[in-house]
Amino acid sequence: MLDIVHIAKTFNPGTITEKIALVDVSLHLDDGDFVTVIGGNGAGKSTLMNSIAGTFPVDRGSISIDGEDITSWPEHRRAKYIGRVFQDPMMGTAAGMMIEENLAIASRRGKMPTLRWSAPESNRTKFRELLAPLKLGLEDRLESKVGLLSGGQRQALTLLMATMANPKLLLLDEHTAALDPKTAEKVLDITTKIVGERHLTTLMITHNMRDALRCGNRLIMMYDGKILIDVKGEEKKNLTVPDLLAMFEKAAGSELTSDSLLLS
């Protein structure tokens, strides 16, 4: 499904602010893999995700989806295959446009826009049916501007938008981090439900170790621009926090507290 082969990324090379964000990362995802990604601040998690999404070009290596090499594709072209939810609830929606306008745009993801009417009323039944399971009351507010919604509502809507055009790959970058614990829980429930029902291949970054352990079928931990730990299947199912810490110590050769990883 997703093949990342020896990619590397250095920001501001040759300057005093030079920062090696990804050293040499390879990763293969199978169809339907739901991978949680953990690691301390600056470990390179977002950089990995942005490299896949095409926010910036990588320095080396290649990225392909279903055998198609997308390394040189610009961001908007990759969007055909990739749905994304960002950490900032403001990032994923157009605040000044109505809920139905946002949904209409998302329903056409990856297609060339035409001169057809963007948000025809005939879409509404479909949109209501999509929104109703969120249980946020959004199905009755199709004509509200998205800017009027709460952070949690916006994030749930973004999640719906990211998945409605059936992406091959779903990228979630700490998409619940800016929400209060209760709302975060709810958005995460919606996430696991959508991903589970539709068998979406997913990469989810989180700072919450409990979430990382209980969601998905695979877990990777990043450290200093590298993937340090990669566990899947039965091993992942039975994994506990102390197990993870022990694995980290062995792999990184250094002492580590759960605090220093910012994992709760």
Partner 1 sequence: MDLIIPTLSQGLLWSILALGVYLTFRVLDIADLTVEGSFPLGAAAASACLVKGSDPFTAILVAAVAGMLAGIITGLLTTKLKIPALLAGILTMIALYSVNLHVMGKANLSLLQIDTVFTKFSFISDDRQLVTLIVGAAATLFLCLLCYWFFGTEIGAAIRATGFNPNMIRANGVNTDVTIVLGLLISNAFVAICGALVAQSNGFADVGMGVGTIVIGLASVIIGEVLFGTKCFWRCLVSVVLGSVVYRIVIALVLELGMPPNDLKLFTAILVAIALGLPLLQAKYKAKQWKEAAK
Residues 112-151 that bind partner 1 (CB under 8 A): 113-119
Residue 102: count other Cβ atoms within 10 Å of its Cβ: 24
Q: Which residue from 34, 38, 39, 190 is in contact with ligand ATP, where contact means CB under 6 A?
A: 39
Region from 58-66, 91-99, 207-215, 232-240 binding partner 1, contact rule CB under 8 A: 91-99
Q: 3-state class of 206 per DSSP?
A: coil
Q: How far is the CB of 42 from ligand ATP (least distance, A)?
A: 4
Task: Quote the CA–CA distance of 146 and 176 in Å, as a whole number.
Answer: 18
Q: Which residue from 56, 60, 66, 94 is in contact with partner 1, where contact means CB under 8 A?
A: 94
Longest C-alpha distance within the chain, in Å? 60
Q: Which residue from 25, 29, 39, 46 is in contact with Mg ion, where contact means CB under 5 A?
A: 46
Instruction: Report strand pairing: 19-29 vs 2-11.
Output: antiparallel
Residue 172 lies near ligand ATP (rule: CB under 6 A)? no
Q: How far is the CB of 206 from ligand ATP (least distance, A)?
A: 10
Residue 186 φ/ψ, nearest 5 degrees: -65, -45
Give whichever of 19 and 108 is closer to partner 1, judged by the CB atom.
108
Give whichever of 97 and 178 is closer to ligand ATP, judged by the CB atom.
178
Q: 3-state class of 106 per DSSP?
A: helix
Residue 84 lies near ligand ATP (rule: CB under 6 A)? no
10: β partners: 20
Q: Which residue from 43, 65, 187, 244 is in contact with ligand ATP, where contact means CB under 6 A?
A: 43
Region from 104-112, 178-186, 206-214, 219-227 binding partner 1, contact rule CB under 8 A: 104-112
Task: Quote the CA–CA distance of 44 and 123 in Å, as a whole number.
Answer: 40
User: Which of ligand ATP, partner 1, Mg ion, none lies near 47, with the C-beta cut-off 5 to 8 A by kind?
Assistant: ligand ATP
Task: Quote the CA–CA distance of 143 and 255 in Å, as a whole number.
Answer: 54
Contact 87, 177 (CB under 8 A): yes
Contact 89, 102 (CB under 8 A): no
Contact 29, 2 (CB under 8 A): yes
Task: Quote the CA–CA distance of 53 and 32 in Å, as a whole number.
Answer: 18
User: Which of partner 1, Mg ion, ligand ATP, none lies near 133, with the C-beta cut-off 5 to 8 A by kind?
Assistant: none
Residue 10 φ/ψ, nearest 5 degrees: -120, 130
User: Which of ligand ATP, Mg ion, partner 1, none lies near 42, with the C-beta cut-off 5 to 8 A by kind?
Assistant: ligand ATP
Residues 156-175 that bind Mg ion (CB under 5 A): none
Residue ranges that bind partner 1, judged by CB under 8 A: 53, 74-77, 79-80, 83-84, 86, 90-97, 101, 104-106, 108-111, 113-119, 161-162
